[in-house]
């Protein structure tokens, strides 16, 4: 049998039911690996060994009593530090929240807790999810397990690295413009962003509310489907969650997306995504994925998404505007950034806010707050924000038109493999370009999945592997089963 820390969700469940190991043993094996190797990677900001042991022991007791348990029972999970877990820190990798402890579970966490999942700890990220490399964390960067001199991607770099390095069986992240799919590509794991509204955002520290979506990092597409099925569904605590989406068949991909139906699908290849400057390793990897899918009998068709060229500009107006609004609540007082407020009694309220926010927010957060406040200000709203929203409508319309003739769309995830640490920190525009292939999906509210071209690369040896390359599948709204099904058959072909 594989080492406990190398198991997928499915193999973990099978081994647990066969009594090859206990949930507590699996939890302990993961913590042993975290303690031995995470200091070199820094995937986790905090761990929760005591509460994880209690949760794992509860699963073992349930099994001993003959109770039926689901596929996530006892599974060791990592969670991005902007998703609330009651009683655990929730810093969003910002000094502004470094002393904040969550007082309730996010809805996605509550659902996973009900399923018996074991939460190992909270993972590193770019501050308030603002970044593409996890270099913007106030508590230190995360390194890529395949090559520690390179970034893990962002903003969910800690979650991606945790799964790639086998510090967790799976993880949760959030995706606003590619923050699940891009780090999954850099770390060689599966990253899945559901349709906007498919998973409740209640308990997710908001960055840009019309774009944010919680989703899983896993070692296989099949595992991503298991995780998605557990967290999807309507939630009265989130007015944007879908009231009537039905995902009852996703747990059995062979049944919900049988091969004979997959073979009848057409996949679109948008000319705007295969641009000059695409790294040769990425271009070759994506071409290899296309050839393998053709071997399944899937047809391909060239399509055009003409407004894609405006997506990046549109995003960096809409997103900062929402950031400016959402981060206004973080004044450093309600969340007690500094405990010695009595020493500031001589300051005016305005000066106190300036001091707290000036010290609490990092450079990238400040940059986006300022930009968002500017585009929403009097005299500039029509020129920037309203025009960006109109452009967003055109981008969504392009996808709707394309999906009249194709069932899914295949693109690269990133222009390059993981880049060296520090290579883009002084050039924000170069960093923003990392999300050029993922941002349109968020603007249109579509599901997208990042899949390793050559299968999930094991980083068990940490630093011993080549840099991975992923490809992206984009689906129609509420048709997660289509891209999960295609991805599952791709894995079986690869495997």
pLDDT tens-digit series, residues 41-61? 999 999 999 999 999 999 999
Residue 469: inside a domain: yes
Please tell me the distance from the alpha carbon of residue 445 to that of residue 410, in angstroms, as a whole number.
16
16 band by pLDDT with thresholds 50, 70 and 90: very high
The pLDDT assigned to 318 comes to: 97
* Catalytic-role residue among 80, 193, 219, 477: 80
* Catalytic-role residue among 132, 155, 174, 241: 155
Please tell me the distance from the alpha carbon of residue 93 to that of residue 95, in angstroms, as a whole number.
7
Residue 314: inside a domain: no
179 is catalytic: yes
The pLDDT assigned to 462 comes to: 65
Q: How many domains does the chain have?
A: 1
The DSSP annotation for 361-407 comes to S-HHHHHHHHHHHHHHSTTTIIIIIIHHHHHHHHHHHHHHHHTTT-S
The pLDDT assigned to 206 comes to: 96
Residue 230: inside a domain: yes
The pLDDT assigned to 349 comes to: 80
Residue 342: inside a domain: no
pLDDT of 371 strictly over 70 = yes
Q: Which two tokens stand for residue 232?
A: 């999807």
Residue 148 sits in a domain of what CATH number? 3.90.1300.10
340 band by pLDDT with thresholds 50, 70 and 90: low
338 band by pLDDT with thresholds 50, 70 and 90: low
Residue 9 C-alpha from the chain's centroid:
18
* Catalytic-role residue among 94, 133, 174, 179: 179
Mean pLDDT lowest among 1-15, 167-181, 211-225, 249-263 = 249-263
Please tell me the distance from the alpha carbon of residue 130 to that of residue 101, in angstroms, as a whole number.
21
Residue 320: inside a domain: no
461 band by pLDDT with thresholds 50, 70 and 90: low
Q: What is the mean pLDDT of residues 309-318?
A: 96
Residue 375: inside a domain: no
Its domain, for residue 54, covers 4-265+405-494
258 band by pLDDT with thresholds 50, 70 and 90: confident
The pLDDT assigned to 117 comes to: 98
Residue 335: inside a domain: no
Please tell me the distance from the alpha carbon of residue 427 to that of residue 372, in angstroms, as a whole number.
19
CA-to-CA dists, residue 258 to 82, 451, 475, angstroms: 36, 19, 17
- Torsion angle (degrees, nearest 10) of CA 186, 190, 193, 194: 170
The pLDDT assigned to 247 comes to: 72
370 band by pLDDT with thresholds 50, 70 and 90: very high
DSSP state of 465: S
The pLDDT assigned to 282 comes to: 96
432 band by pLDDT with thresholds 50, 70 and 90: confident
pLDDT of 299 strictly over 90 = yes
Residue 309: inside a domain: no
Q: What is the mean pLDDT of residues 195-223?
A: 97
The pLDDT assigned to 195 comes to: 96
155 is catalytic: yes
Pick the more confident residue, 265 or 356: 265
The residue count for the chain: 495
């Amino acid at each position: 049998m594989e080492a406990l820390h190398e198991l997928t969700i499915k193999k973990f469940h099978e081994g647990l039911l066969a009594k090859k190991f206990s949930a507590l043993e699996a939890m302990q094996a993961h913590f042993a690996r975290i303690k031995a190797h995470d200091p070199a990677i820094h995937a986790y900001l905090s761990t929760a060994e005591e509460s994880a042991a209690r949760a794992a022991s509860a699963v073992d007791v349930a099994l001993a009593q003959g109770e039926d348990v689901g596929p996530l029972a006892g599974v060791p999970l990592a969670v991005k530090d902007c998703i609330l877990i009651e009683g655990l820190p929730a810093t969003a990798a910002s000094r502004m929240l470094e002393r904040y402890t969550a007082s309730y579970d996010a809805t996605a966490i509550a659902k996973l807790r009900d399923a018996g999942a074991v939460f190992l700890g909270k993972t590193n990220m770019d501050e308030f999810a603002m970044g593409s490399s996890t270099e913007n964390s106030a508590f230190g960067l995360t390194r890529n397990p395949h090559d520690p001199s390179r970034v893990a991607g962002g903003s969910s770099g800690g979650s991606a690295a945790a799964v790639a390095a086998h510090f967790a069986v799976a993880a949760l992240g959030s995706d606003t413009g590619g923050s699940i799919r891009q780090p999954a590509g850099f770390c060689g794991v599966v990253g899945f962003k559901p349709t906007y509204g498919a998973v409740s955002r209640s308990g997710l520290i908001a960055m840009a509310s019309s774009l944010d979506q919680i989703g899983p990092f896993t070692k296989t597409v099949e595992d991503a489907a298991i995780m998605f099925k557990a967290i999807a569904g309507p939630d009265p605590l989130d007015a944007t969650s879908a009231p009537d989406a039905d995902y009852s068949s996703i747990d059995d991909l062979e049944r919900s997306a049988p091969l004979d139906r997959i073979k009848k699908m057409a996949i679109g290849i948008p000319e705007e995504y295969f641009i000059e400057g695409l790294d040769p390793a990425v271009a070759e990897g994506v071409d290899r994925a296309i050839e393998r899918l053709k071997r399944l009998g899937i047809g391909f068709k060239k399509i055009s998404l003409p407004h894609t060229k405006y997506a990046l500009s549109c995003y960096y107006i809409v997103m900062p505007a929402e950031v400016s609004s959402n981060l206004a609540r973080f004044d450093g007082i309600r969340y007690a950034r500094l405990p010695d407020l009595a020493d500031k009694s001589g300051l005016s309220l305005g000066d106190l806010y300036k001091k707290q926010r000036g010290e609490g927010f990092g450079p990238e957060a400040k940059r986006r707050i300022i930009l968002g406040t500017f585009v929403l200000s009097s005299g500039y709203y029509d020129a920037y924000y309203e025009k960006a929203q109109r452009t967003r409508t055109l981008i969504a319309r392009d996808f709707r038109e394309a999906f009249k003739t194709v069932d899914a769309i295949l693109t690269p995830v990133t222009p390059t493999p993981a880049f060296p640490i520090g290579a883009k920190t002084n050039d924000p525009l170069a960093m923003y370009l990392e999300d050029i292939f993922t941002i349109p999906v968020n603007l249109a509210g579509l599901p997208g999945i990042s899949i390793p071209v050559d299968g999930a690369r094991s980083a068990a040896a940490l630093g011993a592997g080549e840099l991975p390359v992923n490809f992206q599948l984009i689906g129609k709204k509420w048709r997660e089963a289509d891209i999960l099904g295609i991805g599952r058959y791709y894995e079986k072909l690869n495997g």
